[in-house]
Amino acid sequence: MKKFILFLLLVLIIPNKVLAVSETTFIDVKIGKTYEIFEKLDISCDTNLALFQKDDLENELIVFEGYRIYAGKTFGVNNKIDIYDSENQYITSIPSNGSVLIGPRLGYESNLKVGEKKYRGFISFIDDNTGLKIINHIDIELYLKGVVPREMPTLSPSEALKAQAVAARSYAYSSLSKHSKEGYNLCDTTHCQVYGGFSDENVYTNEAIEQTRGMVVKYDGSIANTVFHSSSGGFLDSSENIWGNKLYYLKEKEDPYSLNSKNSFWSVEIAKNSLYNVLNENGYGISEINDIKILDTHESGRVKNICINENSEKLILTGDKFRSLMGVNNIKSTLFEIDGLNPVHNNAIYGKDRNKVVPISDIQILSGNNVLFKNNISYSVIGKDNKIRNVEIGSANFNNNITVSGRGYGHGVGMSQYGAIEMAKQGYNYIDILKYYYSDVDITKIN
């Protein structure tokens, strides 16, 4: 009977006005994974849960009994979400277009637990051909509290944290249409900004957000697209060089504050066969790798293009594509040099009748019964220094590893986070930091 009453209330949509929600800017953030048709999402709260219309958060549509519900796609019916109680008994269904929200009852300070993570605000659902997406409908200032601690170490100097808060706020506002075709504003990955919800909040970053509340970076009166990265390695690049779009506040210049920080310098070895496998797995269809070199760079030193196999099966990749293929956590930036796959000409061969240096490719070996050995087989030979070496007859002997050595971490455009930390250590405030990394901008309250 109680479940029937709840269902009847939902159908009638009798609002229960409790407490007005203060005016704020809400955004929609996709969180977590995409759910399949038979998967159910576990949602719980420290108080009773309620349903709300997205465009009317001052009125509760319905209040659920208990502190936990389950939600999943309606089997065989498009655009519907089934809601179940804690005992897995069906309660009702709601639209899966994001128009109806689940949240704590009005007047209660509580967070939602969605799966294993806690979030402020409300939860809604969007169902499309890829599955069921979970959307966190949240005040942008509260959203930032789940972003800043994921983007900068929480024990960083306070002025660096403030700079990160303003940069993250500005970036969010300037990117609100990034996923508009999919029905929400931002995602919770590095594609937008890493967002961990209430579970990842920290007292120091929360304080930085509160102390800069509403502050944004503007260029020529508009909120700037304040991209940022971990470390520039000493040289900032422009948006035009990296992405092809010229933004006057994202310029190329030296960055001395990022020279002696984490990931200022790095080096990684890549096995020749690993590179071969990656290229072929990604459709480049290359039969062998003989050489690799950098073709050209930007003024900042960041790699524009590299060439694999200059003389045969020539393949040209952008520095960014090479980084993506080999893994952005391995090749930390495009500010790198390549060493390796150079022929090791082990040419010193000791002849029986006299000392003579000859190219290995000119050597042929006869067995005791006058059988000519094939090329490209490894043999042991004695060099003129009387040391035994393994060589490959008939071809150059290549190193098996490529060494990629570079500086910095990330795309190198906009604010260097470790550069900001260093500036704060040297006594600069957050406005100084932001104006250094974003040229000719104003730091002001959003209208």
Amino acid at 154: T
Banded pLDDT at 401 (limits 50, 70, 90): confident
- Residue pLDDT, tens place only, 48-107: 899 999 999 989 898 988 889 899 887 767 788 899 988 889 998 999 899 999 999 887
Rounded to 5°, the CA angle 417-260-196 comes to 25
pLDDT number for residue 341: 59
Banded pLDDT at 18 (limits 50, 70, 90): very low
Please give the helix or strand (H or E) that residue 122 lies within, else none. strand 122-128
pLDDT number for residue 180: 94
Using CA atoms, how far residue 370 sits from 349, 351, 373, in Å, is: 20, 18, 9
**Four-residue CA torsion sign, 312, 318, 324, 326:** positive
pLDDT number for residue 311: 73
pLDDT at 343 over 60: no
Give this prediction's pTM: 0.80
- Residue pLDDT, tens place only, 163-218: 999 999 999 999 999 999 999 999 999 999 999 999 999 999 999 999 999 999 99
Least confident residue range of 129-138, 320-329, 340-349: 340-349
Strands (E), 20-89: 26-35, 41-45, 49-53, 59-60, 62-63, 68-73, 80-85
DSSP sequence for 357-407: E--GGG---B-TTSPBPPSS-EEEEE-TTS-EEEEETTS-EE-SEEEEEE-
- Residue pLDDT, tens place only, 355-373: 444 444 455 555 555 555 5
Q: Hey, where are the domains in the chain?
A: 2-141, 146-226+413-447, 266-342+400-406, 343-398
- Kindly state the percentage of the chain with pLDDT values over 90: 62
For residues 376-388, give the mean pLDDT: 55
Please give the helix or strand (H or E) that residue 103 lies within, else none. strand 100-104
pLDDT number for residue 176: 96
Helices (H) and strands (E) in the chain, counts: 10, 34
Q: In angstroms, rounded to a whole number, what is the distance separating the alpha carbons of residues 166 and 146?
A: 14
Most confident of 108-112, 149-153, 271-275: 149-153
Banded pLDDT at 112 (limits 50, 70, 90): very high
pLDDT at 280 over 70: yes
Residues 6+ apart with CB under 8 A from 257: 416, 419, 420, 422, 423, 426, 436
For residues 428-445, give the mean pLDDT: 98
Helices (H), 175-306: 203-211, 239-243, 272-281
Banded pLDDT at 382 (limits 50, 70, 90): low
pLDDT at 344 over 50: no
- Kindly state the percentage of the chain with pLDDT values over 70: 81
Q: In angstroms, rounded to a whole number, what is the distance separating the alpha carbons of residues 146 and 7?
A: 35
pLDDT number for residue 17: 36
pLDDT number for residue 378: 52
For residues 243-253, give the mean pLDDT: 95
Q: What is the mean pLDDT of the chain?
A: 84
CA 407 to chain centre: 19
Least confident residue range of 106-110, 111-115, 411-415: 106-110
Could you count the other beta carbons within 10 Å of the beta carbon of residue 291?
16
pLDDT number for residue 23: 52
Banded pLDDT at 379 (limits 50, 70, 90): low
pLDDT at 313 over 60: yes
